[in-house]
Amino acid sequence: MSALIPASSERAQQTLIESYATLLASVEYMHELANTEQWAELIDQRTNYVVQVEKLRELDAHVVLDTASQRRKAELLESILEHDVNIRRRLVARRDELGKLIGVTQRQRDLHRAYAPQQGAAVPFDADDADSTRSS
């Protein structure tokens, strides 16, 4: 098990705070992607975001912050979480939109299945055939 880095290690504290700032920049970019409905890119970025969070969690477990750094970390975390909540709201709205589209598509498919066989079963009326049966 790794020992905690003392609060006096300013470099370790700076590295941790910079990592949170980098995570904030990532989540701000993801929020912009969600707002502009760039869903594929958002999903790609979300994968990178998860990796960043895991690395940050590991680093955070080994660094003790002084009071000023704790305050800065709290500010960064608050901003990160605000963006994350907004991204999730956009994703829920998108999911609901896609659900409605899927419902419409399923209804169209069901209607097609219900009425398409009847269309094929109908025998078209041919006036020439009708005339030939009368003359015989």
pLDDT attached to residue 107: 87
> Does residue 85 have a pLDDT over 70?
yes
Q: Is residue 40 part of a domain?
A: yes
Q: Is residue 3 part of a domain?
A: no
pLDDT attached to residue 116: 78
How far apart CA 19 and CA 55 sit, in angstroms, is 9
Confidence (pTM): 0.71
Q: Is residue 136 part of a domain?
A: no
Domain with 90, as residue range(s), is 10-119
First to last CA, the chain: 102
How far apart CA 27 and CA 118 sit, in angstroms, is 54
Q: Is residue 102 part of a domain?
A: yes
Residue 5, beta-bridge partner list: 63
Q: What residue has token string 């078209």?
A: 124
- pLDDT digit string, tens, across residues 102-113: 998 888 888 888
> Does residue 7 have a pLDDT over 80?
no
The rounded mean pLDDT for the chain is: 86
CA distances from 96 to 35, 42, 46, 57, 130 (A): 16, 17, 20, 32, 55
Q: Does residue 126 sit in helix, strand or coil?
A: coil
pLDDT attached to residue 1: 43
Q: What residue has token string 């000023």?
A: 68
Q: Is residue 50 part of a domain?
A: yes
For the segment 26-32, the average pLDDT, to the nearest whole number, is 98
Q: Is residue 81 part of a domain?
A: yes
Q: Is residue 43 part of a domain?
A: yes
Q: Does residue 29 sit in helix, strand or coil?
A: helix
CATH number at residue 67: 1.20.58.380
Q: Is residue 85 part of a domain?
A: yes
| Tally of structural domains, the chain | 1
